[in-house]
Amino acid sequence: MKKSNTLFLLLVLPLLCLSCLVDDEDDKGLQGIDTNPYIIGFQSTSTLESYFQDIGAINIDIPVSVLGGNSGIVTPSNTVVNYTVSPASTATEGNEFTLTGSSFTIAAGTTFSNIPVQINTGSLDPDQPTTLILKLTSTNNSSVVSAIRDTYTITFVGCQSNHAGEYTNPDLPSGASGQATITQTAPNTYTASAIPYLGTSQGTVPIEFSFTNVCGDINITSWALSSDFLIIGTGELDETTGSLTFKYTLYNGTSISDGILFDFSSNADASTYTPL
């Protein structure tokens, strides 16, 4: 009987010790999570602010959030975040914009705060866009600024484009009647009902795409075929006729490294939209 008890203890004791070790390691792991610093950063990286007449001062808020760290997101104490205007900015304080300070506070028990920016709509450049680049620099506690979400670019646009209307395009297939409608969806932002696309089996098909014109800088921003393929393209405007010519490249994936699917970036392959 004594031998049985001894054998039982020899079997159970190592398991108990292992359990203690695991619990101890778990506690240490949780303690490590609890002491991780809060990570502070911008929720997004940029915005476009377009005004074409003087409507006075417009106030906007740029949100900054607790992006991660610690065992929870809500901050236990006030966090003062310092920021500065990057020297790479082309907009001038007191002209295109006005700031109220160089820091803001994420209050205890919250997850975000805002940087207030005043836009002086009557001072935007009517010929070219300018930028305000805000950069988070430091905090008053152990929180850290995100290395990849520490800057935010505001582009001020005072020049207005107008491309809405009906267009002809000889490159479009007969199913699209060789025509396309361009609709304005936001200031300087448009959606065209068709762009030529060489499908692998169905031949040329019309695909809806979106583009922007910011003071003459025309770029395709997206298309409606599939998010699994990348489109990169630019456009040129004929000031005399109002025609828009697009050159673009389709990639066989979501990045340039995935390789080219179709290339329409040369002058010979460019697609021209002429107003009716």
* Model pLDDT for residues 255-265, shown as the tens digit of each residue: 788 888 788 88
Residue 67 — pLDDT band, cuts 50, 70, 90? confident
- pTM over cut 0.85: no
In the numeric block, the tokens 């104490």 are attached to: 77
Confidence (pLDDT) at 72: 52
Max Cα distance, the chain (Å): 107
Report d(CA 42, CA 14) in Å as an integer: 50
Report d(CA 243, CA 108) in Å as an integer: 55
Contact present, 104 and 81 (Cβ < 8 Å): yes
Which tens digit of pLDDT belongs to each residue from 224-276? 877 778 889 999 999 999 999 999 888 878 778 888 878 888 887 788 999 99
Report d(CA 107, CA 82) in Å as an integer: 14
Confidence (pLDDT) at 5: 52
Query: Beta-carbon neighbour count of residue 273 at 10 Å?
Result: 25
Report d(CA 238, CA 242) in Å as an integer: 5
Torsion of CA 164, 168, 172, 175, to 10 degrees: 90
Torsion of CA 164, 169, 173, 179, to 10 degrees: 40
Pairing relationship of beta strands 39-42 and 144-145 according to DSSP bridges: parallel
State CA 235 to chain mean position distance: 22
Tokens found for residue 118: 């005043």
Least confident of 9-13, 85-89, 253-257: 9-13
Report d(CA 150, CA 135) in Å as an integer: 6
Percent with pLDDT over 70 in the chain? 81
Report d(CA 124, CA 54) in Å as an integer: 9
Torsion of CA 55, 57, 63, 64, to 10 degrees: 150
Give a three-class secondary structure readout of 102-166.
CEEEECCCCCEEEEEEEEEHHHCCCCCCEEEEEEEEEECCCCEECCCCCEEEEEEECCCCCCCEE
Instruction: Please name every residue paired with 180 in a beta bridge, in sequence order, or none if there are none.
Output: 167
Question: What φ, ψ does residue 136 adopt, rounded to 5°?
Answer: -75, 135
Residue 152 — pLDDT band, cuts 50, 70, 90? very high
Which tens digit of pLDDT belongs to each residue from 166-194? 998 888 765 556 788 999 998 889 999 88
Tokens found for residue 113: 């705060």
Contact present, 182 and 165 (Cβ < 8 Å): yes
Find the mean pLDDT for residues 72-89: 89
Find the mean pLDDT for residues 83-92: 97
